[in-house]
Chain A
Amino acid sequence: MESWRRNPFVFWVTSLPPTLWLLFFFLVPLGIIWVISFGEKRGVIDIEITWVLDNYWRAFDPLYLEIFWKSLWMAFATTAICLIVAFPVAFSITFAPPRIKPLLLLLIILPFWTNLLIRTYALIAVLRTKGMVNFGLEWLWDQGNWLLTLVGLGDLQLLGAAFDPLQLLYNNTAVVVGLVYVHLPFMVLPLYAALDRMDRSFIEASLDLGAGHFRTFLTIVVPLAKAGIISGIIITFIPALGSFLTPDLLGGTDSQIIANVIERQFKNANDWPFGAALSFILMYITFIALTLRAFLARGSSAMEAG
């Protein structure tokens, strides 16, 4: 790394356009919202910037804190599940014959190319009371009953009087399922990239020395793939925290998360200052999460990729 003075021309050419863009088309709009968060509503649409912290104080009301907590919890659950599922999947792809690798990767990524809304509605069609899952279960139930009748136990109604469909939709479980569904490809990619780059002789050595697979995994693979794991967690956690469409469409009466509240402030409640304050608090929380990540990753800066 050299000082910029060594080659000022190249420096300015490469750094000025992106910086200016970032400034005008991102920081300035953000700044406008930041200023609004200190304002108050006047009349129907006017906002006066009175530089008060009222909106922030209001956000610290237990009502909203509880919602923040719930959102963090859901994002956390989503990320954890994605991680657990994505690891074996990434492993399978990494160690597959090179010919099939792109194909497998493609299979996992392809759903991601479909529009988010469409995918979520498709998920509804699968999960609802008259959806695929319940159809399947009902079919199994029918078969079970038929078998029982064959054996002569039909009248005992061992499987229940009628098929009771699973309520898979309009509750928090559905929201987590939906979030996992949407974010899984996001988690597989960085994991795969990290595992692919890894030197396999380490694993071999560990196995040769007598460690079991699981121990090898924990002590060798995880540290080596740390950068990938952390990237994956970030790419999953942050959007999950800020998503409002999925909880909106799949959630029940108590699945409101912070992004939904923010959305309502900007739309129904027409309270831009408060919505702005809430958004910024959400951002600060994410910053804290990122800083934690920087701390954790400090040890492996050699392997860390940006």
Chain B
Amino acid sequence: MGLFNGGKRAIQIGPLEYNKRLSFRLIFFVTLVFLYTPILTLIAFSFNDSRRNIVWRGFTLKYYEKAMDNDSLIQAFTNSMTIALISTIVSVILGAMVAIALWRFRFPGKASLEGAMALPIVIPEICMGVAMLAFFSRVGYPTNMPWPLNLGAITVAHISFSFPFAAMIIRARLANFNREQEEAAKDLGANEWETYRDVVIPYMRPGLLAGGLLAFTLSLDDFVITFFTAGPETVTFPVKVYSMVRFSVTPEINAASTVLIVITIALTVIATLMQNRAKP
């Protein structure tokens, strides 16, 4: 790598070291400020001692207590997590299956399937929400089932719009797969199942995980589609927040959101640490 003199600087920065250039750093910094100021404001105001939460009135922790005590909020949160979990697993499985089928085979109607798979990505959320509402009511989906079965309708809806996204990502990954590896495995005596298990799926793994991550996020954050398919016992976190927030944003919401953010950060930090330790 040549160390070209990229400019008239005293310190020599390599031409490719864009991250060291002032202009880039400035843009990055400004972007971070832009992204985080609202969130930091949110967290700061969760300690505000005012029901209306417009002006700062004093420091208090009571809204955190309120949020923790709020049974329906906790249940909404639990519902969200459960649905996201199930949705992610099924989405990745279905997405992987269809990715393999589309990557490997030629068959009549392939173009139609590809087109159909693109639909959930393209469709306006509200259209899909209403479609699901109409569908489940016409089909007579039972509404009074015990937890967690009653989350079924929402989960089905989430899977329907998540797995094409997962499939898209997995397909992207598969496209770079060298089929010779597969043939080599077969030459060495592996059968179909073993080939997949030991060669193809490990290669797909980053795609599976990226796809799963996306599916999880989509499900957790979804509001519109869930709004139309949710019932009394099956409120999820975004829907619950929406109904609480329509009137006025009380610090309780800020508190609950802060907790969610903190949990996310904690989990991610743990995951990163574990991964760093696992590296040889």
Contact = CB atoms under 8 A, between A and B. Distances in A.
Interface of A: 1-4, 7, 10-11, 13-15, 17-19, 21-22, 25-30, 32-33, 36, 85, 88-89, 91-96, 102, 104, 106-108, 110-119, 121-123, 125-126, 130, 132, 181, 184, 200, 203-204, 207-208, 213, 238, 241-242, 244-245, 259, 262-263, 266, 272, 275-276, 279-280, 282-283, 286-287, 290, 305-306
Contacts of A275: 130
Interface in B210-253: 217, 221, 223-224, 237-238, 241-242, 245, 249, 253
A132 B101 contact: no
Contacts of A93: 19
A13 B1 CA distance: 50
- Scoring A25, A94, A263 by chain B CB atoms within 10 A of each residue's CB, the highest score goes to A25
A230 to B, nearest CB: 12
Contacts, number: 240
Interface string B90-122: 000011011011011111000001001111111
A244 B192 contact: no
A10 B98 CA distance: 11
B172 A204 contact: no
A33 B123 CA distance: 12
A53 to B, nearest CB: 19
Given A4-B106, A122-B38, A279-B127, A290 B118 contact: yes
B130 to A, nearest CB: 5
B230 to A, nearest CB: 15
Contacts of B63: none
Given A17-B97, A132-B37, A286 B122 contact: yes
Contacts of A95: 16-19
7 contacts: A18-B95, A18-B101, A114-B260, A115-B221, A118-B254, A203-B16, A242-B126
Interface of B: 1-2, 4, 15-19, 23-25, 27-28, 31-32, 34-39, 41-42, 45, 54-55, 94-95, 97-98, 100-101, 103-107, 113, 116-128, 130-132, 134-135, 138, 156-157, 159-161, 163-164, 167-168, 171-173, 175-176, 192, 217, 221, 223-224, 237-238, 241-242, 245, 249, 253-254, 257, 260-261, 264-265, 268, 272
A92 B260 CA distance: 28
A132 B249 CA distance: 17
A130 B41 CA distance: 13
Interface residues of chain B: helix, strand, loop or mixed (majority): helix
A10 to B, nearest CB: 6
Contacts of B221: 113, 115-116
Given A29-B131, A110-B264, A114-B261, 15 more contacts: A14-B97, A15-B97, A18-B101, A89-B31, A113-B261, A116-B221, A118-B241, A121-B245, A125-B45, A130-B55, A238-B122, A266-B130, A279-B124, A279-B130, A283-B127
A11 B105 contact: yes
B218 to A, nearest CB: 11
Contacts of B116: 22, 26-27
